[in-house]
A and B are shown apart, each in its own frame.
Chain A
Amino acid sequence: MMQAREVGAEIPEIEVRIPSRAEWVALARLAVATVAARMHFNVDEIADLKLAVAEACTNAIQHARESDEIVITCRIYHEGLQITVRDFGIGTEAERIRSRDLGEPRVGGLGVYLIRALMDEVEYRVERDSGTVLTMFKRFGDSSR
């Protein structure tokens, strides 16, 4: 479960909506990078956030059936940044939200693993009729801010 937190900015929520298509994932990660830079995350943390949100969008594009839009919401808290990535696909595949074991290298399946490795908290919520919501949180590191 995500922790309850106090918002940390005058404008605590920023939302970006992109078509559920590969060519628009770059917009999502650039938007998140801009928000993270405004919050004074350091360069490495911004790179982590960009990759995590891109992996979440890629996952939605590849697995969410009949979803034509992805909504990325950034919520600014005193302790860090929460990012929600929502698709509107019907149903989900168990494979999609499972972080795979690293062993024999194979194509695919690394996205969820990377998200869990790069973010401090990760939670998937599958809503049978209305899509999947991935909520992730990144705390400020010692060298940020």
Chain B
Amino acid sequence: MARVDIQMQVRSVNGSIAVVSLDGEIDVYTSPKVKDFIGKLIDKGTYTFAIDMQNVRYIDSTGLGVLIGGLKRVREHGGAVTLVSTNPQTRKIFDITGLIKVFDIYDSVDEAVNALK
């Protein structure tokens, strides 16, 4: 059985943009971990994020909630969030929920980072 968990990594670009790479499944069990991970980065003063979801095999409404919550927090500080995903199912969920209009989703990390510069 595939590992039902989430791995998270962050690296800094230009000192101000955090590229957060997520690997795994984001559901009601793992989304609190993602929320905590991103929340701590925001607490430390990072307000600009490119979230790489290319290795996210599954996301549900709790995962979307984490992304919306993060976006709201960084916007309060003039920040922004871009997403990276080529997964058709992930894009479909953003489309159905209307979040495609809220988040800019790119095909590569480079594109998502450049959009934040």
Q: Which residues of A contact B (CB under 8 A)?
A: 22-23, 25-26, 29-30, 44, 47, 50-51, 54-55, 57-58, 61-62, 102, 105-108, 110-111, 113-114, 117-118
Give Cα A103–Cα B31 distance, bound, in whole angstroms. Answer: 23
Give Cα A30–Cα B60 distance, bound, in whole angstroms. Answer: 14
Contact of B89 among A47, A54, A55, A106 (CB under 8 A): A47
Q: A26-B29, A51-B58 are in contact. List 17 more A-B contacts (CB 8 A).
A: A22-B27, A23-B29, A25-B28, A44-B88, A54-B27, A55-B60, A55-B61, A62-B28, A105-B71, A105-B98, A105-B99, A105-B102, A107-B65, A110-B61, A110-B65, A110-B97, A114-B96
Give Cα A47–Cα B64 distance, bound, in whole angstroms. Answer: 16
Contact B58 A113 (CB under 8 A): no
Q: B4 to chain A: which residues have CB within 8 Å?
A: 26
Q: B45 to chain A: which residues have CB within 8 Å?
A: none
A-B contacts counted at CB < 8 A amount to: 65
Contact of A58 among B28, B69, B92, B97 (CB under 8 A): B28
Give Cα A117–Cα B61 distance, bound, in whole angstroms. Answer: 13
Give Cα A135–Cα B86 distance, bound, in whole angstroms. Answer: 32
Contact B65 A58 (CB under 8 A): no
B65's closest neighbor in chain A, by CB?
A107
- With A105-B99, A114-B96 already in contact, the answer to whether A54 and B68 are too (CB < 8 A) is no
